[in-house]
Structure 1
Amino acid sequence: MEPMQPPAPKRRPMADINVVPYIDVMLVLLIIFMVTAPMLVQSVPVNLPQVEATPTEIEPDDNTLIVAVDREGRYFLEREEGEPAAMTLAQVQGYIQKVKTEVATTRVMVRGDDQVPYGKVVALLGGLQAIGLQDVGLITEAPDPEGGRG
C-alpha cells in the first residue's frame, strides 16, 4: 500500500487590494487638473498698460473681485461663472455693495485696457469710493524688455 500523502493546502483568496495602479491614476489626474484649472477662468481681453513698478503680491481669493474695462469703456465683473457680461456702472456698484456687506474685507482690482478713455476708469474708481470701498488696486503689465507686446 502506498503511503498516504497529506492533502494539498487550499488556496485562499487574496484579501489585499493592490492600490499602486490607483495611486498612479490619481497622480496623473491631479497633474491634468493642475494644468487645466488656470485655463478655466473666463476673462475679458484687454491690453493692459505697461508700467515699471514693484509688483504687489496679492493672492486672488474670495475677497478679491476683478472689474475689467474694455477698449469701448464697458465694465465687466470677472467671475468663474462663464463668459462675463457687460454691465453699467450702477450694476457694478450694486454687485460690489452686496459682496461688501457679506465680506467686509472685499478688495477690487481694476483691469483697464490701455486704449480705454481715462474718464471711464475714473468714473469706476469714483463709483467704488461712493459705496465706501477703499481697497482698490490697478492691474498693469511690466514692460517688455524687447519693446514688443506679447
Structure 2
Amino acid sequence: MGLASSGRAGRRSRRAPMAEINVTPFVDVMLVLLIIFMVTAPLLASGVPVELPESRANPIDQTPDQVTISIDSTGTIYIDDQRVPAGALPEALAGIDRGADGQGPVIVLRGDRGLAYGRVMAVMGELNRAGFNSISLVTNSSVSPP
C-alpha cells in the first residue's frame, strides 16, 4: 500500500500569487457607463417639453440651489417637473425652501415661445409677490440679431 512519490511527498506545491490586474474589462464597463451618461444627461435637464424662444444673451452659470419653473404651450405650470394645479401657484411657491439666508433659490423660468406675454408676466408677478427676486429667463441661443 505504498504510494510512489517523486521526492516532494511532504511539500505542497504553491503557485506564486498573480500580481497583475487585468483592467480591460474595467475599461470596457467604464466606457459603456460613459456612453449611457452622455445619452441620458440631456434628458435629465428638464422633463417638460417647452419650445424656447431664441436670444443672443450670454449663458449664465447653473447653481445647485435653483428651482426650474416651466410653462408649456398650453399654459400649464410645472415646478421641477411637478404639475401645479390651476390657481395653486401661490401655495406651491410658499412651499419652496428659502434656505438659511432667507433669500431663496434662484428661479429659472422656462416659457414656451407660443405663449402670450401676459401669461409669462403673470407667473413672474406671482414669483415677485412670493418674494423671489432672482429670476433667470431661459432661451435658446441665436446667431442673428432680431
Query: TM-score scaled by structure 2?
Result: 0.71
Q: CA deviation at 1:102?
A: 4.1
Number of residue equivalences: 135
Q: What are the superposed Cα offsets for residues 54-84 of structure 1, whole Å, 9 maximum, x if unpaired? A: x2322252x11111111221111234xxxx4
1:64 corresponding residue in structure 2: 66
1:135 corresponding residue in structure 2: 134
Q: CA deviation at 1:115?
A: 0.9
Higher Cα Rg, which structure: 2
Q: CA deviation at 1:111?
A: 0.8
Q: 1:109 to 1:72 in 2, by over 3 A?
A: same
Q: CA deviation at 1:135?
A: 0.8
CA distance in 1, matches of 2:56, 2:114: 18
Q: CA deviation at 1:99?
A: 2.2
1:94 corresponding residue in structure 2: 91
CA distance in 1, matches of 2:99, 2:125: 21
Q: CA deviation at 1:123?
A: 0.8
- Asked if the contact 1:46–1:71 (Cα under 8 Å) also holds between the matched residues in 2, the reply is yes
Unpaired runs of at least 5, structure 1: 146-150
Q: What are the superposed Cα offsets for residues 114-137 of structure 1, whole Å, 9 maximum, x if unpaired? A: 110111111100101111111111
- Asked if the contact 1:68–1:76 (Cα under 8 Å) also holds between the matched residues in 2, the reply is yes
Is residue 2:21 matched to residue 1:18? yes
Q: 1:57 to 1:123 in 2, by over 3 A?
A: same
CA distance in 2, matches of 1:11, 1:131: 75
Identity of aligned residues (%): 20
Q: In the alignment, residue 47 of structure 1 is paired with which amino acid?
A: E
Mapping of residues 15-54 of structure 1, within 5 Å: 18=21, 20-21=23-24, 23-41=26-44, 42-53=46-57
Query: What SS does the corresponding residue of 1:67 show, helix, strand or coil?
Result: strand
Q: In the alignment, residue 68 of structure 1 is paired with which amino acid?
A: S
Unpaired runs of at least 5, structure 2: 1-5
* Pairwise CA RMSD: 3.0
